[in-house]
């Protein structure tokens, strides 16, 4: 497995770049809007979709065992696909700087499963799945992984792993090799197959700082998180607060997953009845909402969230300073999310919440996480919710796309 993956991901020359340098390719004529947009570029930042396409079709810094599909490109990320084999392992692991994932699998794998035509990943188990995509990053280029929104809302704990990796979801600068997903369904067993998309990746060029002052300026210019956030509240990101009153939804504030439900096919949208998998959660008559230990909740932010077309955002998943619970497994917010230019005015952040060890009372308006905004190298040609399959634009309290509306 490892030799095949490495042979595929070690190879092609940058033909497009070479042709451009020698003048053999004539640049297409661009419109005035395109010229103005491309003038607002930076040498460092998160790469937008058209730059990701160049990494696939030009420089070959993103390669795959099967052709990458157009639908995998998101405004500032690329969907990653499961390969044909899943390995049930005894425990989660990082390979460490001296080992590859394949070498560690020799010691930790319990069972190898062919999922080409479909395979069940059981609740409470840990799996390692080689992905169809791999990377051949150049100097000053790194990457980060995250679960897709639908993955997080199904409580599927998913993390990206690389050879010689010492951190989950972080791909070091200049990495050359295959990618793997660690997948651990926490609440529902799921049916997946080769090509299923559980995670996504962002590519970063350089290391541009995202300072508190940058976040404060964004809040002043765009009201990125509501309109009541003070400048003093913005530190290590813009604070996100939770709604437990449900004024905008008749008292419905979220859902709690049922403990013993059926199987969910990850590739079947709008297929399942909500009542078969979820119990509604209504606003408490007094005080805050008590989170039961180890139960999984879908809640929503109190305020609307916006991501300007020039930026991408990531939710910081866990902060012990605000309580013993985890918020938001799937932390990527694409440029255009909640933004009026993409028809998303009023979109709220959906929060995947799990309390640990003890019951915990979460109050209305309590800070439960922080959004970190990072600029793009240039504005994407398409925004989230504008000409894309965007399941969660203009959302309030929204379950994953697998459930009937």
Residue 244 is predicted with a pLDDT of 95
Residues 179 and 309 in one domain: no
The total of structural domains in the chain comes to 2
Q: Do residues 382 and 75 make contact, with C-beta atoms less than 8 angstroms apart?
A: yes
Cα 59 from chain centroid (whole Å): 24
Residues 28 and 147 in one domain: yes
For residue range 74-132, list pLDDT tens digits in order.
999 999 999 999 999 999 999 999 999 999 999 999 999 999 999 999 999 999 999 99
Give the separation between CA 134 and CA 356, rounded to whole angstroms: 35
Residue 20 is predicted with a pLDDT of 32
Give the separation between CA 298 and CA 153, rounded to whole angstroms: 7
Q: Do residues 252 and 284 make contact, with C-beta atoms less than 8 angstroms apart?
A: no
> pTM for this one?
0.86
Residues 104 and 9 in one domain: yes
Give the separation between CA 367 and CA 360, rounded to whole angstroms: 14
> Measured between alpha carbons, how far apart are the two ends of the chain, in Å?
41
Q: Do residues 116 and 153 make contact, with C-beta atoms less than 8 angstroms apart?
A: no
Give the separation between CA 405 and CA 402, rounded to whole angstroms: 9
Q: What is the DSSP letter of 250?
A: T
Give the separation between CA 16 and CA 60, rounded to whole angstroms: 10
Residue that has been written with the tokens 């970063």 in this structure: 204
Q: Identify the helix (H) or strand (E) that includes residue 106.
A: helix 101-108
Residues 216 and 179 in one domain: no
Residues 187 and 277 in one domain: no
Residue 61 is predicted with a pLDDT of 97
Residue 354: closest CA among 345, 362, 365, 343: 362
Residues 22 and 135 in one domain: yes
Flag whether 403 is in a domain: no
Q: What is the DSSP letter of 242?
A: B
Give the separation between CA 222 and CA 305, rounded to whole angstroms: 10
Residues 24 and 130 in one domain: yes
Residues 111 and 23 in one domain: yes
Range of the domain at 230: 212-375
Residue 2 is predicted with a pLDDT of 42
Give the separation between CA 338 and CA 58, rounded to whole angstroms: 32
Low-confidence ranges of the chain (pLDDT < 50): 1-32, 34-39
Residue 208 is predicted with a pLDDT of 85
């Amino acid at each position: 497995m490892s030799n095949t993956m490495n042979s595929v991901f070690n190879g092609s020359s940058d033909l497009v770049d070479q042709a451009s340098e020698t003048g053999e390719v004539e640049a297409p004529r661009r419109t005035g809007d395109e010229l103005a947009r491309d003038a607002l570029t930076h040498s460092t930042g998160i790469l937008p979709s058209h730059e990701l396409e160049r990494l696939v079709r030009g420089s070959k810094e993103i390669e795959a065992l099967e052709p990458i599909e157009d639908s995998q490109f998101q405004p500032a990320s690329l969907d990653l696909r499961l390969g044909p084999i899943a390995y049930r392992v005894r425990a989660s692991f990082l390979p460490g700087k001296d080992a590859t994932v394949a070498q560690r699998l020799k010691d930790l794998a319990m069972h190898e499963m062919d999922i080409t035509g479909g395979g069940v990943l059981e609740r409470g188990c840990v799996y390692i799945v080689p992905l169809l995509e791999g990377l051949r990053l150049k100097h000053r280029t790194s990457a980060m992984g995250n679960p897709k929104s639908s993955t997080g809302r199904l409580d599927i704990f998913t993390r990206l792993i690389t050879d010689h990796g010492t951190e989950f979801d972080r791909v070091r600068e200049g990495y050359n090799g295959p990618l793997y997903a660690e997948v651990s369904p926490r609440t529902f067993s799921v049916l997946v197959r080769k090509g299923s998309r559980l995670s996504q990746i962002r590519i970063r060029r350089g290391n541009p700082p995202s300072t508190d002052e940058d976040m404060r300026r964004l809040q002043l210019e765009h009201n990125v998180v509501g309109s009541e956030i003070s400048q003093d509240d913005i530190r290590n990101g813009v604070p996100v607060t939770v709604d437990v009153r449900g004024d905008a939804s008749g008292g419905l504030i979220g859902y709690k997953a049922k403990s013993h439900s059926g199987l969910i096919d990850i590739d079947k949208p709008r297929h399942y009845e909500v009542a078969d998998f979820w119990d509604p959660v209504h606003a408490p008559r007094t005080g805050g909402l008590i989170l039961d230990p180890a139960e999984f909740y879908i809640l929503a932010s109190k305020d609307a969230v916006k991501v300007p077309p020039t930026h991408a955002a990531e939710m910081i998943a866990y902060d012990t300073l605000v309580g013993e619970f985890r918020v938001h497994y799937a932390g990527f917010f694409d440029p255009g999310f909640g933004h009026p230019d993409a028809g998303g005015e009023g979109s709220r952040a959906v929060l995947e919440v799990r309390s640990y060890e003890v019951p915990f009372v979460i109050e209305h308006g309590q800070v439960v996480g922080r959004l970190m905004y990072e600029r793009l190298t240039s504005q994407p040609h398409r925004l989230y919710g504008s000409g894309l399959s965007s399941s969660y634009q203009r959302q309030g309290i929204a379950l994953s796309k697998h459930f009937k509306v």
